[in-house]
Chains A and B, each alone.
Chain A
Amino acid sequence: MVKLNLHFSGGLELLFGNQKEYSVDVPHEPPSELKVGQLLVWTRDHLLTERPELFMKDKTVRPGILVLVNDVDWELSGTLDSELVDGDNVVFISTLHGG
């Protein structure tokens, strides 16, 4: 298990039961680290309540959704291959919603 704090905002929370914060235990077998790509699939299958196509496209997030790991743009840590450990914070922000 990997303990993570997930945060959904920018309208994305509407796809997650209108809940912004989740503290989760994500099942994972060592020795390899859990990767964000795996977290996405787990999140979609376990937390998402509607319209998965608005969250993921192919194997990644739908373009226009920003991802930050410990408040750093995931493009700096390898996007889908970014590694996660206990206590990490992952933020998903939609840029696609209106004001």
Chain B
Amino acid sequence: MPITCSSCGVEKAALRRPKTGDKLCKVCFFAAFEQEVHEAILTNNLFTAGDRVAVGASGGKDSTVLAYVLSLLNQRHSYGLDLVLLSVDEGISGYRDDSLETVKRNEQQYGIPLTIVSYQQLYGWSMDQIVKQIGTRNNCTFCGVFRRQALDRGAFLVKANKVATGHNADDIAETVLLNLIRGDLPRLGRCAGISTGEDGDLPRVKPFKYTYEKEIVMYAHFKKLDYFSTECIYAPYATRGFAREFIKDLETVRPSAIADLVRAAEEFRIGPDNAEQLAQPKTCQRCGYLSSQDVCKACLLLEGLNTGNPRLGFIMLANIEGNVFKLLSL
């Protein structure tokens, strides 16, 4: 017996929304999904007319749906945004190729111009070359540090004044949990923010902060959006840790748990002692990009690579992060 949509009362329901429990048909789901993203954008003043927004695009589900929905809302509500797709090519042969092809198709499908920046071009090293040098043990650390800065550097290249990323509610709930477990109060206080770096020159915004991963994937599926999922060949199956697993288990038992975790983190008030630890934004003495230290993490790692002593850069990085686990793993 098909269930009727609880919104229009006419069409057959196609999914149960995890956040609300509503049983909606495809059309009513699309409308609710888009409206909620629109409200998140308006309520939090994420954009201003005339903004040139670089949408971090990996070809994966989150960024593909983000590019599609931002382009749609920009037209529907006349935001006046100048959208550009920005992809990072880590230089991992056989891995990024297919996702970059997907982003190139998205460029055509959504009519948003695409720029691809490569690690090779930005840092002088591709991930394949780095792995050749250091092996596959700590390569994810290099890749993570380089990727974060690559979006900023790429955004400057395309003259964007904002970066939008596809981080969703599940991602944020996971980060909240990890910061809680690590006792990292400064990060706990700010990780649930919908935008970061307003004081710096390049704010980052997360329009999907309240959007469940399940709904993003359902939206992409029902709309037949063209996305690509893959596992990095250097870390297959390693992308999700115990915290993600735990979040998904929680969601199964109580679907509102993800939204509740995000809301809980928003309500945290970080005391003055910890607030001081929120490093004031500085710029790296070497490359000039935003950094919490005198020399940014990317430059530390690069120094190790370029002097033929990659371990050194890694140890310096683990030291400034106070990351005992990373030091132990050396």
- Contacts A97-B229, A97-B231, A98-B60 given: A73-B217 contact, CB under 8 Å? no
Chain A 30-73 near chain B by CB (<8 Å), digits 1 or 0: 00000000000000000000010010000000111010100111
**B38 interface residue, CB < 8 Å from A?**
no
Instruction: Determine whether the beta carbon of A98 is less than 8 Å from that of B16.
Output: no
Instruction: Determine whether the beta carbon of A98 is less than 8 Å from that of B244.
Output: no
- Give the A-B contact count at a CB cut-off of 8 A: 81
Instruction: Determine whether the beta carbon of A73 is less than 8 Å from that of B229.
Output: no
B174 CB to closest chain A CB (Å) equals: 12
Give Cα A71–Cα B224 distance, bound, in whole angstroms.
12
Main SS class of interface, A: mixed
Which residues from chain A contact B62 at a C-beta distance below 8 Å? 99
- Which candidate, B117-125, B232-240, B278-286, is the interface stretch facing chain A? B232-240
Which residues from chain B contact A54 at a C-beta distance below 8 Å? 237
Which residues from chain B contact A66 at a C-beta distance below 8 Å? 214, 217-218, 221
Residues 36 to 87 of chain B near chain A (Cβ within 8 Å): 58-64
**A75 interface residue, CB < 8 Å from B?**
yes
**B213 interface residue, CB < 8 Å from A?**
yes
- Which candidate, B152-160, B248-256, B317-325, is the interface stretch facing chain A? B248-256
- Contacts A63-B252, A93-B217, A95-B61 given: A9-B229 contact, CB under 8 Å? yes
Instruction: Determine whether the beta carbon of A99 is less than 8 Å from that of B221.
Output: no
A interface size (C-beta, 8 A): 24
Instruction: Determine whether the beta carbon of B229 is less than 8 Å from that of A94.
Output: yes
**B99 interface residue, CB < 8 Å from A?**
yes
A95 CB to closest chain B CB (Å) equals: 5
Give Cα A75–Cα B215 distance, bound, in whole angstroms.
13
B141 CB to closest chain A CB (Å) equals: 16
- When C-beta atoms are compared, the residue in chain B nearest to A60 turns out to be B252
Give Cα A72–Cα B166 distance, bound, in whole angstroms.
25
**B14 interface residue, CB < 8 Å from A?**
yes
Neighbour of A93 across the interface among B12, B59, B221, CB < 8 A: B221
3 pairs of A and B residues whose beta carbons are closest in the complex:
A99-B60, A63-B248, A99-B58
19 A–B contacts, CB within 8 A, in A order:
A10-B61, A63-B249, A64-B244, A66-B214, A66-B217, A71-B14, A91-B221, A93-B217, A94-B229, A95-B216, A95-B217, A96-B239, A96-B240, A96-B248, A97-B230, A98-B58, A99-B62, A99-B64, A99-B166
Give me the interface of B with A, judged by CB distance under 8 Å.
2-3, 12-16, 23, 58-64, 99, 166, 213-214, 216-218, 221-222, 227-232, 237, 239-240, 244-245, 248-249, 251-252
Give me the interface of A with B, judged by CB distance under 8 Å.
9-11, 14, 51, 54, 62-64, 66, 68, 71-73, 75-76, 91, 93-99
